[in-house]
Amino acid sequence: MSKYRNKPVVIEAYRFTGSSTSSWKIKEWMDGGLCPEPGGMQTADMCNCEIETLEGTMKARPGDWIVRGVQGEFYPVRADIFEQTYEAVEDAEATTQPEGGDDE
């Protein structure tokens, strides 16, 4: 049996706090892709949200990270899984074009 390692991929992510301000910032970042969950307002200031993902609708709860994947797709990731999977990168590294050229 062979062993494999994930290729290093740089993603964008935003932490969803559950506040209405957080919801609107994420909605703007996703260009409208995130919306308050129907009936999801828990208090006047806190909410859950639903995200349309490649696998269907998923819920983002306060504390989750919203990730933009390599194909531009969005999905929620629980905080503990996010911390085990991702680490911060320097801005210069995050803006480096992949080998083989650019998109222009």
Q: Which is more confidently placed, 32 or 17?
A: 17
> Other C-beta atoms within 10 Å of 67: how many?
18
Whole-number pLDDT of residue 33: 61
Q: Which of the two residues, 94 and 33, has the higher pLDDT score?
A: 33
Half-sphere exposure of 52 (CA within 13 A, CB side): 7
Output phi, psi for 88, to 5 deg: -65, 150
Please give the full DSSP string across 1-28, using - where no structure is assigned: -----PPP---EEEE--SBHHHHHHHHH
Residue 14 has pLDDT above 60, yes or no: yes
Chain-wide mean pLDDT for the chain?
Answer: 77
Average pLDDT, stretch 19-42? 68
**Is the model's pLDDT at 51 over the cut of 50?**
yes
Do 36 and 44 touch, CB atoms closer than 8 A? Answer: no
pLDDT digits (tens, 9 = 90+) for 72-85: 999 999 999 999 99
pLDDT at 36: 56
CA-to-CA separations, 31 to 7, 93, 101, in angstroms, rounded: 28, 25, 27
